Amino acid sequence: MSAMNTLKKFGLEQAFNYVYKDPDKNFIKIMDWADKFSGGGFTTQRAMIREVISNPEHPYYSFIHRLVTDIDPHVMKTLVANFFINANLAGWKKQDECREKYGCNIPWAILLDPTSACNLHCTGCWAAEYGNKLNLTYDEIDDIIRQGKELGVYMYIYTGGEPLVRKKDLIRLCEKHNDCIFLSFTNATLIDEDFANDMLRVGNFVPAISLEGFETATDGRRGNGVYQKVIKAINLLREKKLVFGISACYTSANFESITSEAFYDSLIDLGAYFIWYFHYMPVGNDAAPELLPTPAQRRETYERIRKYRATKPLFAMDFQNDAEFVGGCIAGGRRYLHINANGDIDPCVFIHYSDSNIREKTLLEALQSPMMMAYHDGQPFNDNMYRPCPMLENPQKLREMVEKSGAHSTDLQSPESAEHLCAKCDRYAENWKPVAEEMWKEDQERKAAKKGC
């Protein structure tokens, strides 16, 4: 890390030490300093933060205070320093330099599967398509991170399988790469006191716990007793003052409950700091297209999540409906890519077609491969940000990229052709298009009216 970034990190730590002495009073003073040294930048963001910390009635006032009172100070300082200084300030600058130098996408985050194994057997899990005997070795993951950091990548996200099957190796990686943030999607059933203590010690590991909704829905898909095991793990994480969030997938079957206000409020009561909502994707030969949300359900999900996160102290991201904030599809290395447990480098965690393997190519060589360059050259895949995906809303785009690049299916259990996958999305895309067009038009009209005021 450069001397300048070291100074910034030191300054950030000192600011936190100052806030911890008297949060109510010193939050405001920190903002005064931020205003003074901002150079006039980030005006909207600074005003928003000042409003939050100054107004006890603001929905996120309690959320900001929880960051100080309910999170271990070492964990808080580590996560903030690694996220803001390394993954964003230093990392983003390096990524931009590499994008310019190499003429390809450079990701902000890398998703990878340490293992395809899982201790549960959830109904319809697409990860199970890979089988349960594949693993990236510790040295392979370590090398992926080393290569990533050379490109400015400090954010690593574990998927699976169940990543915590490899929890000893994951903690070793946290220790070695203590300048990075590691987030893991997990069923949480393997989180015990020893692992929570390891998380507390390293400070840079954050679980995103998968839930299907309340107890009946979760146990119905994941197995009897799983929900209570998750609650036990959450209580342990809260006791240790650790950060955690929730991951939820909405389908035509569970949409009503999993996007309900009651469920959202229950996550706040549980002490979650974020929730990532994912749209069901019909990946795999045995996928069920009937689980794709209807246009009305998807629009209602959009309305609900935007209302909740504006009025309740829990940060939510809706990955299929929030594309406007990131300029469309972020896969193909534009902001992230996926490496499975066999080493195949996929453009997306949901799009399993590749022409590269980390055991045969460097990360940079994979980013310059025909499949990844097809993403680079084609993004955004649609000017309407409610139709961002080359599979779900623009299936012809994925067909063309796979054919042009010669990419192959990376599903080792039951290889699925791009035609088979995209055919499951054709009707969905056709039905969603008029709704998306109406929503996008309404958005543009609102923004124009606001600008004119």
Nearest in space to 379 (alpha carbons), one of 324, 321, 329: 329
Provide the pLDDT for residue 298. 98
Q: What is the mean pLDDT of residues 20-47?
A: 74
The residue out of 55, 70, 85 marking a domain boundary is 70
The one-letter amino acid code at 251 reads T
Nearest in space to 113 (alpha carbons), one of 346, 372, 284, 363: 346
Confidence check: pLDDT of 11 > 80 = no
**Lowest mean pLDDT: which of 48-62, 117-131, 153-167?**
117-131
The answer to the question of residue 375 being in a domain is: yes
Confidence check: pLDDT of 387 > 70 = yes
Q: What is the mean pLDDT of residues 137-143?
A: 98
The answer to the question of residue 41 being in a domain is: yes
Phi, psi of 136 (to 5 degrees): -85, 130
Residues 369, 375, 379, CA angle at the centre, nearest 5°?
150
The answer to the question of residue 271 being in a domain is: no
Nearest in space to 182 (alpha carbons), one of 164, 194, 165, 319: 164
Q: Is 348 exposed, middle or buried (0-12, 13-18, 19+ CB in 10 A)?
A: buried
Nearest in space to 267 (alpha carbons), one of 275, 276, 256: 275
Runs of H (alpha helix) within 282-341? 295-311
CA distance 173 to 167: 10
Per-position b or e across 175-193, b if 16+ CB within 10 A of its CB: eebebbbbbbbbbbbbbee
The answer to the question of residue 362 being in a domain is: yes
Confidence check: pLDDT of 46 > 80 = no
Residues 412, 418, 423, CA angle at the centre, nearest 5°?
125
The residue out of 39, 55, 70 marking a domain boundary is 70
Nearest in space to 380 (alpha carbons), one of 393, 370, 389, 368: 389
The answer to the question of residue 385 being in a domain is: yes
CA distance 29 to 216: 47
* Residue 39 lies in domain: 9-70
The answer to the question of residue 35 being in a domain is: yes
Summarised one tens digit per residue, pLDDT across range 79-89 is 988 998 899 88
Average pLDDT, the chain: 91
CA distance 113 to 100: 29
Nearest in space to 126 (alpha carbons), one of 438, 435, 412: 412
**pLDDT band of 25, cuts 50, 70, 90:** confident
**Lowest mean pLDDT: which of 42-46, 75-79, 176-180, 371-375?**
42-46
Nearest in space to 247 (alpha carbons), one of 188, 309, 312: 188
**Lowest mean pLDDT: which of 202-206, 299-303, 403-407, 449-453?**
449-453
**Lowest mean pLDDT: which of 2-16, 268-282, 339-353?**
2-16
Strands 408-409 and 181-186: unpaired
% of the chain residues with pLDDT over 70: 92
Residues 338, 344, 350, CA angle at the centre, nearest 5°?
40
**pLDDT band of 13, cuts 50, 70, 90:** confident
Question: Six-digit token pair at 161?
Answer: 């399988």
Nearest in space to 350 (alpha carbons), one of 340, 359, 341, 342: 340
Confidence check: pLDDT of 331 > 60 = yes
Do the Cβ atoms of 400 and 390 come closer than 8 Å? Answer: no
Cα 321 to the chain's mean position, in Å? 14
Strands 336-339 and 345-346: antiparallel
Cα end-to-end span (Å), the chain: 45
Provide the pLDDT for residue 125. 62
The answer to the question of residue 234 being in a domain is: no
The answer to the question of residue 216 being in a domain is: no
**pLDDT band of 286, cuts 50, 70, 90:** confident
Contacts of 440 (CB under 8 A, 6+ apart): 384, 385, 386
CA distance 416 to 399: 12
User: For the chain, how many structural domains are there in total?
Assistant: 2
CA distance 178 to 204: 7
Provide the pLDDT for residue 41. 61
Provide the pLDDT for residue 24. 78
CA distance 158 to 161: 9
The residue out of 29, 53, 70 marking a domain boundary is 70
Provide the pLDDT for residue 92. 93
